[in-house]
Amino acid sequence: MLVGFLSLAIAASALAQGLPRGRPEQLGFAPERLARIDSVMQRYVDSGRVAGVVTLVARHGRVAQVGAYGWADREAGRRMSADAIFRIASQTKAVTSVAVMVLVEEGRLRLADPASRWLPSFATATVVADTGRGRVPVRRPVTIRDLLTHTAGISYGTDSLVQDLYRIAGLGPAAGYGWYFADKTEPICTSMDRLGSLPFVAQPGTRFVYGYNTDILGCVVERVSGQPFDDFLRTRILFPLRMPDTHFFLPPEKRDRLAAVYAANDRGGYVRADDGPRGQGAYVDGPSASFSGGAGLLSTASDYARFLQLLLNGGTLDGARILAPATVALMTADQIGNLYGSGASGFGLGFEVLLDPGRAAQYGTRGRFGWGGAYATNYWVDPGEDLVAVFMVQLLPSGGLDLADRFRTLVYQAIVGPGQAAPRRP
């Protein structure tokens, strides 16, 4: 059996740039129950379901659990470590959504603004006709709020009615381009300008359609701010929050910390993904032109936990004020009602929001928010429990991996008391 859980001294060293460490019992956890995370994660590694995993749980602003299990790169013989760097895919959307709201707070952008103000090709946007043949004009412009809530009607080009058009335009998985822009050859605004000429699959404001919405927002941030999107994120969010290992493209000296990508097979195991754009991806070598606001970032559990703690704290962390509390409250409130589903969960400005734990049959308190990524990563923030949690793995396709859901159960079953909240700086 591989040794999974790191010692306290090693973990503390790995998280030197992260949140402070706390004792589980002081944070309201039963240590013996929290240790169940170790045994379950290690069991999945030993059974061949996953190559490697990193978990992190923080409550009251302090880390109660961090674990590194299995392999970061099995073929290279490199063990997983707490500071391993992961492709976080759609977890990028939360960071981009915060960037948008920074500009909203500064009065440079409004939620009601039309996207066509910065991407002119969207001024003549069309929708696939109800008959499936031909196009009709959009009934109203796509707004910034539509994009944040995924109600613009814009997909990833996977729908059969538009798949061929997206493929011809070089967008979407059908083109081999990847919904996460894995080949990195084209600036994101160039891609998004071209997207505006392709048909949507629904009228704006009528359906939840998961797609390129947040990539469009990354272009909007770039054009409103006058900065390259990666520069804006670095200077306005990543540097103030002390997230040194969050990048669109990895500096070569960090190459050996990047976890390898694996793909689930039909036998319940996995194989190493190929070295192409839809496998390991060009995250170190090769072109570095596409800063995908919807799926492009790399990060660590430690860095991402700091970002989540910012949101839990109402927009501030360690003296850095990124957003106002009212803005975070707006982002994490349900914005679209039944457009998202039955009402057990809703969707805010960039996050899924738990509205009724009983109806959803999910652990957590009302208002818990989060999302995940294509490589089977996951995160959530639970204001009612003063809790953040990060689950990192690299498995695409995931083959129905249920480990993130098990991780959530393991976290909540370990909470046995309120714990002691540490003083926080305003």
Pull the structure tokens for residue 141.
Answer: 């412009």
Count of CB atoms within 10 A of residue 426's CB?
7
Catalytic residues: 90
Phi, psi of 64, rounded to the nearest 5 degrees: -95, -30
324-356 core/surface letters (b: 16 or more CB in 10 A; e: else):
eeebbebbbbbbbeebbbeeebbbbbbbbbbbe
Q: How far is the C-alpha of 159 from the C-alpha of 179, rounded, in Å?
A: 13
Q: How far is the C-alpha of 268 from the C-alpha of 141, rounded, in Å?
A: 45
Find where tokens 């072109």 sit: 287
